[in-house]
Amino acid sequence: MTITAAALAKYIDHTLLAVDATCDQVADLAAEAIRLGTFSICISPAMLPVTTPLGAVLLATVCGFPSGKHAPEVKAAEAALACAAGADEVDMVIDIGLAKVGNFAGLVGEIAAVRDAVPNDRLLKVIIESAALSDEQIVLACQAAVQAGAQFVKTSTGFHPAGGATTHAVSLMRATVGAEVGVKASGGIRDYATAVAMIEAGATRLGCSASAAILAAAPQR
């Protein structure tokens, strides 16, 4: 598969989730996203609202990040506040311990709590931390996300020591959720070849902080 830079940019959530990120860095991220033509920027909720004009670039944020070890009510409140501050999309982290013990009802409950807190015109992505889960647990988490009404499942926070996205996990997630739910690959995507491999595996969105370098290596037309 060959994807031009302009086409590839539309897959990318241009991401800045560093714990020491500043408002000036967010402004720079927004300007770079506009220049590159990425789908969105993804930033921490504490950096909202964004005062820099984004044009056609959407605004994504995270909740329950990065551990997922927050009460469902806290995740829901965080998501609601983020949407009120202008977020178009929310990437929530599940409690991966629930997936590890097979607690399907618990997963559905916490995801549904966030889904209910996010307005219907906003998008919810569910981060399952796939590198820390077995195949069976990945399937369980994805099925819970779909049942709870999420529009996307996402591989990773990029902060877990187990690692980030793999093509195997993306393929399994795509096979589990079917064609109607998005799959976001995130964590460790730093070059053009990896980005394309994730799309070939079934990803419909990519979380990248190295977006400029990735797109510079892509065919320009």
All structural domains of the chain, each given as residue ranges with its CATH number in brackets, are 5-216 (3.20.20.70)
Q: Scanning the structure block, which residue is given the tokens 């079917």? A: 178
pLDDT at 221: 87
**pLDDT per position as a tens digit, 191-202:** 999 999 999 999
Query: Do 199 and 11 meet the contact criterion of CB atoms below 8 Å apart?
Result: yes
Q: What is the rounded average pLDDT for all residues in the chain? A: 98
The whole-number average pLDDT for the span 66-82 is 98
Whether the per-residue pLDDT at 99 is higher than 90: the answer is: yes
User: Looking at the annotation, which residues are catalytic?
Assistant: 91, 154, 184
Helix (H) / strand (E) element for 91: namely strand 89-93
Residue 54 and residue 205: Cα distance in Å, rounded?
Answer: 19
What token pair was written down for 10?
């539309």
Q: Scanning the structure block, which residue is given the tokens 């589990």? A: 176
Q: Is the pTM of this model over 0.75?
A: yes
The whole-number average pLDDT for the span 136-144 is 98
